[in-house]
A and B are shown apart, each in its own frame.
Chain A
Amino acid sequence: MSRVHKTAGTLAIASLTLALAACGGGSDGDDAASDVIRVGTEGTYSPFTFHDTAAGNELTGYDVEVIEAVAAELGREVEFSETQWDAIFAGLEASRFDVIANQVTVNPERQEKYDFTEPYTVSTGVAVLPTGSDITSVADLAGLTSAQSATSNWAAVARESGAEVEAVEGFTQAVTLLKQGRVDVTLNDNLAVLDYLNTSGDTDVEIAFEVGEPSEQAFALRKDSPLTAEIDGALQTLRENGTLAEISERWFGEDVSG
């Protein structure tokens, strides 16, 4: 072993140690003590969480406004981290943020791993198909290819219907693939699809039928987070004083807050 080699080795070990030390600087999840609520959201899922190009490109949407109202109720600041859906739970677990505000559907698998607040949306799943398709019910989905975010509940619904799931980043990509004939169908929240059809004027695809039971969406937090009860209290107040209904009316023209 030459001198050069030794020096290089020492340097490598030193820099690795530094790098590891630098990685350890995350928050240790003491959510209640800080006066900032750190929120994870996609920022690409209209009308729930997106950047409105018409309004200065600010992050906005139904979920964004609800969590902002909750924070205002609690007298806290909100800090948004935008991340793709498939990385959102990893971000929550890694304490990059404390709450997910992104139309997270409450289901038993998720309840095992995460805390959920009271729901603030009730919605139904729908199948989006090329206009005039002859696929008319859930029974026809078996063997088809469905474009979904890998970790979304719609992916699970598609699998249960016997469809092959092609994992994509979000709804926009799913619709693109559908229009290009690369997938047969995509399942999503009726509110998201309606909003897309209304704002884009797209006539190539349509809502063909409803899928499954109505589902509830809520904020997701790490297990045993002290924030859950606080947010629940605020949601209760916002529901009683009509704020929730008002936000919902503005985004959907009806009260979908359940």
Chain B
Amino acid sequence: MDLDLVRESIGPLLLGTIRGTIPLTAFSFVGGMVLAVLVALARLSAVAPLRWLAQGYVSIIRGTPLLVQLFLIFYALPSLGITIDPFPSAVVAFSLNVGGYASEIVRAAILSIPRGQWEAAETIGYGRALALRRVILPQAARVAVPPLSNTFISLVKDTSLASAILVTELLRKAQEIAAPTFEFLTLYSLAAVIYWVLCLVLSIGQGFLERRLGRHLAPQVAKVEKVRQEMA
């Protein structure tokens, strides 16, 4: 380990993280979640073609490698006359990818809410949309936090693949510095540590979010949760 190189590299690597990795993750996750909710609702809809469309989309996303999805959007679309810059290309690809995976989480979370909740909402005069918004989704959100956190944390590391389509994020910065110096071990190790710290921060955030969303639970449920957390 060359300590001088570590000191010199930290700055550019953090810059790559702040300018590349973090915005790439944030935009893609937001875009992906909007898609996920829409696709989940389409899959639960009474309109058959909508269901098929959503199923087809999820199947394609889950059935093809993320790197291939990135390459298709970046390298193949130009032959159809659509040329998108590296960063937006990556955001589009990652949003589509997160949308496919997260839609299944959202769908399962909605289905996990007992039917009685729908009926209760109906008795106080809520229509389907209102029931979904005020009764079902808030409860489903709590269920979805742990699996969605998984998706989010995976996405942080998946953004490293964008280095292959010329997006200057953390990994590409590391490669840039390593190229003239040949210090790959040092630079990749540093990048790994930065990814890890990012994911640690997110895991802590997940804990807070779970406690916050769980604050309206009945006392005995909260107790069971508490015991469970101690066991884990």
Contacts and interface: CB of A to CB of B under 8 A. Distances in A.
A151 B83 contact: no
Contact of A86 (B78, B166, B175): B175
Contact of A181 (B83, B175, B180, B230): B83
B208 interface: no
B43 interface: no
A151 B182 contact: yes
A130 to B, nearest CB: 14
A20 to B, nearest CB: 15
A2 B230 contact: yes
Contacts of B175: 86, 150, 167
Contact of B182 (A113, A166, A173): A113
Contacts of B166: 166-168, 177, 182
A180 interface: yes
Contacts of A156: 180
B229 to A, nearest CB: 11
B179 interface: yes
Most buried by B among A2, A87, A167, A173: A167
Contacts of B46: none
B179 A150 contact: yes
A4 interface: yes
B47 interface: no
B78 A90 contact: no
Contact of B179 (A2, A155, A166, A173): A155
Interface string B163-176: 01010000010011
A169 B165 CA distance: 10
Please classify how large the interface on chain A is, using the bins under 10, 10 to 19, 20 to 34, 35 or more: 20 to 34
A181 B185 CA distance: 34
A151 B164 contact: no
Interface string A2-18: 10100000000000000
A236 interface: no
A89 interface: yes
Contacts of A167: 166, 172, 175-176, 179
A225 B176 CA distance: 28
A156 B180 CA distance: 8
Q: Which of B166, B172, B175, B231 has the most CB of A within 10 A?
A: B166
A176 interface: yes
Nearest to B232: A4
B84 to A, nearest CB: 10
Contacts of A166: 166
A155 B166 CA distance: 15
Nearest to A147: B166
A177 B89 CA distance: 14
A182 B172 CA distance: 18
9 closest A-B pairs (Cβ-Cβ)?
A: A150-B179, A90-B184, A151-B179, A180-B78, A4-B231, A89-B182, A150-B175, A166-B166, A113-B182
Given A168-B166, A181-B83, 5 more contacts: A89-B184, A90-B185, A109-B180, A113-B182, A150-B178
29 contacts: A2-B230, A2-B231, A4-B231, A86-B175, A87-B184, A89-B182, A89-B184, A90-B185, A109-B180, A113-B182, A150-B178, A150-B179, A151-B178, A151-B179, A151-B180, A151-B182, A156-B180, A166-B166, A167-B166, A167-B172, A167-B175, A167-B176, A168-B166, A169-B164, A173-B75, A176-B75, A177-B166, A182-B83, A182-B166
